[in-house]
Structure 1
Amino acid sequence: TGNAKKLEEVTQILGDSSPYTLVAKKIDLPEYQGEPDEISVQKCREAARQVQGPVIVEDTCLCFNALGGLPGPYIKWFLEKLKPEGLYKLLAGFEDKSAYALCTFAFSSGNPEEPVRLFKGQTHGLIVEPRGPRDFGWDPCFQPDGYNQTYAEMPKAVKNSISHRYRALSELSAFFLQSDSTEPRPAPS
């Protein structure tokens, strides 16, 4: 990712479990179409090819139940055009304001012969009128189930302990800690 906020969040959540040194690499990946898992695998393979080494690629979806899962993997484009206020207004004609945030981390060792591994996390919640700072995507309009605050209103430590990204990274972290086949490698230069 070239997104400093995402890398900061990933580093905070993963802690010392990664056998790799994480570095942000802004690379130009095509915008793949399809189901979230397919998109993650394609992006990861292409990133590993470009970097010529191990990569972790993140893909996030925000899925509105009333819209059959849309915007889903296309949330980036919806957000760019509509902002959090527009996302909220998309559901104006629907009683069902429920949604889920899905984060998928795809990991490639850099070896094209090895399969891409997927680690997923999901958080259910509601799409609400935006509240809180507007500095991190759709966080102002997503209120996780069981909380009275949107992601944007939550202290980082709270958000990072319940978010879809946290759940996916917990799986990735467990994989790194359990995997005997993962040899630590230096960060790509």
Structure 2
Amino acid sequence: MAPKEITFITGNANKLKEVQMLLAPEASSIEPTFMLVNQELDLDEVQDTDLEEIAMHKCRQAASLVGPNKPVFVEDTALCFDEFNGLPGAYIKWFVKSMGLPKIVKMLEPFENKNAQAVTTIAYADGEGNFHTFQGITRGKIVDSRGPLTFGWDAIFEPLEAQGKTYAEMEKSAKNKISQRGRAFAKFKEHLTN
């Protein structure tokens, strides 16, 4: 039987590459049960602090644009500062784009609490009218930028489990084991393969 085609809505090449790694079939698997393709769509960015609602809104819109009976998913990642009661949260992409990493770090300068959590929410429409969400969370802290600046805010987030390294300083395979994205996609992969 041919693998089911699932569309990932993204135009971000780095994100696509990471997700392909996370959803790759196990070495022991004979045949993949699904095949990942991507499509870039300009989806509405709803203004909300509920991360699941933001992802579900995008997924509903993506499902209607991609067409009926076609499985589709979106992924939304947030960086939530404890000191700011979860902000910037889902707006972190826009903070990085308009301010840059040094100014984001500087926002927390007056505060002792630099703790944060990275949250990835996946919303999936299975092509049969059902919607599902999967979420992964990694705790850490905000630090001065260290490592390559190639992937969003990775250079300023130091996970508690990373032995003093930022995401940007970690090998991809090590990062994927502890990252919020890795955790969310592990749940999603389990759903797809069972």
Give 4+ residue runs of structure 1 displaced > 2 Å after superposition: 17-20
Q: Distance in 2 between the 1:23 and 1:32 partners?
A: 25
Q: Give the secondary structure class of the aligned counterpart of 1:23.
A: strand
Structure 2 residue aligned with 1:129: 144
Q: Distance in 2 between the 1:110 and 1:50 partners?
A: 12
- Compare the two structures and name the one with the higher strand fraction: 2
Matched-pair identity in %: 45
The code of the aligned residue for 1:68 comes to: N
Normalised to the residue count of structure 2, the TM-score between the two structures is 0.87
Normalised to the residue count of structure 1, the TM-score between the two structures is 0.90
Q: Per-residue displacement from partner, 1:135-176 (whole Å, max 9, x unpaired)? A: 100000000003211000111111111100000000001111
- Aligned residue pairs total 176
Alignment of 1:1-189 (within 5 A): 1-16=10-25, 19-34=33-48, 35-52=50-67, 53-111=70-128, 113-114=129-130, 116-146=131-161, 147-178=163-194
Q: Give the secondary structure class of the aligned counterpart of 1:24.
A: strand
Change over 3 Å in CA distance of 1:40–1:74 after alignment to 2: same
Larger relative contact order (C-alpha < 8 A, sep ≥ 6)?
1
The code of the aligned residue for 1:126 comes to: K
Q: Give the secondary structure class of the aligned counterpart of 1:21.
A: strand
The code of the aligned residue for 2:137 comes to: Q
RMSD: 1.2
Structure 1: any 5+ residue segments left out of the alignment? 179-189
Contact 1:85 1:129 in 2 (8 A): yes
Shift of residue 110, structure 1, vs aligned partner: 2.6
Structure 2 residue aligned with 1:182: none
